Chain A
């Protein structure tokens, strides 16, 4: 602990050290923040991660290529489609597997629905951290419908294990398209209602605007990605910048923080980026549901992917725009049926790095808002 704090707090001054976590209602899992405070004002907050380390990357070296897929669900259990997709993509890249078009559409549909679900949790918990309980339950309510849809699609509500190396596991179930379209119609109305309920509430704006401002260059320096980076006004989205899958076919905007009620890069910008991104994801799902009808039914997985997959020696990298920023999988294969090294780069881990730099001068309540606005999820930090 003392190493993290770097200096012992003088007993005679008015600072105190506070262990903000690992069991704390607003750390979103088991993360510890060692906080130096002077009354309500923070001197510094140092994140202390590692409480949820399950050595998932190491497990990737001991299970087969197919067998690692369910483990990737556990990297980010709030948005489990993204690690699924990232891992499938890296193996496909290494083996040179061509994924059928229909599978790519299914991947886009499932991941974008998952992005909505993940952002609903994120903004919901954020409103709860700010003190409003009702919007959080409303967000969870909408997520429940998405969970039902994904459950009908792949059989699980949280750890989907839907993507496969070379495609996806299941085709669309009967009637699923209509149900999804009906939900999206409802969801667009919900977004308007949610904005009226909480987003533009005066107290909420006052709590978030001009709080924990991360300027664009600083966000780039610290390697932030995803909505955290875009909230700082940097227009970088892997779906646009380095398109993968079928994303070039879709028309959608990338919401960027504009400093709606304060400086660019404050907590409110990161929050509003997420709410707007949900609307864009809803657009993408609609387009994908239209385009998928052109792809032949049942062609959802590449033929001749061996069950006991052996991968030629080599290395590959895949980058996916996850709900929490860029998720990259780096794989080194040595010609056997197991990976030599699997490495994951996650958005939450890099987001933790910036907290120490941003925290001085914030208040205790602002730290909660900062953590919530960075949308960190503990398993993604520690893997």
Chain B
């Protein structure tokens, strides 16, 4: 049962709470909306407004890559694929014949960046990489025809000169058309599980086989 006071009080409570609510929505008409009008009406390009720690596309500076494969081992989903071969011309020199990062698979966790001894692999602030064909998101940092030699770290070196962060990825993104035809091959299967092998067993030899290629 409802007393008369409650009945009348419900009118008053309703009026008071609506008064507050309506005055707040009204006051927002005179405040500045906080929408960021991505992509074309921002004071700066959005990638330049992002914080420096932003985890965007991965970038590898092949000039200072030691070929240590630490990033490959750290990656929990095995989206990094590295193959090392001996240089036929110079047996002492090792070449990175394959350094593929599948950015479509990558979950941008940043675990690969941490073990890198030289800072060769880094997250950039590039994030606009939509393509019509997902295979085009495999970034091949090593040209199979002209593989790059591994970088030898000098003793006591603390600083490694690196190409400006993001410039390499941006150059690749800008060179590619978004609707380019898909690459003919699939990225090869990873040779071993994502983490370092179980100590008891010998590490499996890297056999880049792919059942789908002829």
Chains A, B in direct contact (C-beta < 8 Å): yes
A201-237 interface code vs B (CB 8 A; 1 in, 0 out) = 1110100000000000000000000000000000000
CA distance A193 to B17 in the complex (A): 12
CB distance from A310 to the nearest CB of B (A): 8
Interface residues on B, range: 35 or more
> What residues of chain B lie closer than 8 Å to A141, measured between beta carbons?
34
Judge whether A8 is part of the interface by a CB distance below 8 angstroms. no
A308 to B122, CA, bound (A): 21
Contact (Cβ within 8 A) A201 B21: yes
Q: Give the contacting residue for A70; candidates B10, B54, B76, B123; CB below 8 A.
A: B76
Does B160 sit at the interface, judged by CB under 8 A? no
Q: Is there a chain B Cβ closer than 8 Å to A154's Cβ?
A: yes
Using A152-B53, A336-B198, A337-B195 as known contacts, say yes or no to A66 and B74 having CB atoms under 8 A apart.
yes
Q: Assess whether A68 is interfacial by the CB under 8 Å rule.
A: yes
The answer to whether A154 touches B53 (Cβ under 8 A) is yes
> In the complex, are the beta carbons of A197 and B54 less than 8 A apart?
no
A-B contact count (CB 8 A): 94
Look across to chain B and name the residue whose beta carbon is closest to the beta carbon of A310: B199
Cα A371 to Cα B55 in complex, Å, equals 34
Give the nearest-CB partner of B193 in chain A.
A62
- B110 interface neighbour in A144, A161, A202, Cβ under 8 Å: A161
Does B107 reach chain A (CB closer than 8 Å)? yes
Q: A196-B20, A197-B25, A338-B195 are in contact. Are A151 and B111 (CB under 8 A)?
A: no
A23 at the B interface (CB under 8 A): no
Query: How far apart sit A155 and B127, CA to CA, in the bound complex (Å)?
Result: 12
B76, A307: Cβ atoms closer than 8 Å: no
B-facing residues in A154-168 (Cβ within 8 Å): 154-156, 159, 161
- 19 inter-chain pairs at a CB distance below 8 angstroms, sorted by A residue, are A64-B195, A64-B196, A66-B76, A67-B75, A67-B76, A67-B194, A134-B25, A155-B55, A197-B24, A197-B25, A198-B21, A200-B17, A201-B17, A205-B17, A307-B73, A310-B199, A336-B198, A337-B195, A337-B196
Beyond the given A144-B34, A196-B24, A307-B74, please list 12 additional residue pairs across the A-B interface where CB-CB is below 8 A: A66-B111, A73-B109, A141-B34, A151-B50, A155-B55, A155-B110, A155-B123, A159-B107, A193-B24, A196-B21, A310-B199, A336-B198
Residue numbers of B with Cβ under 8 A of A are 10, 13-14, 17-18, 20-21, 24-25, 34, 50-55, 70, 73-76, 107-111, 114-115, 123, 193-196, 198-199
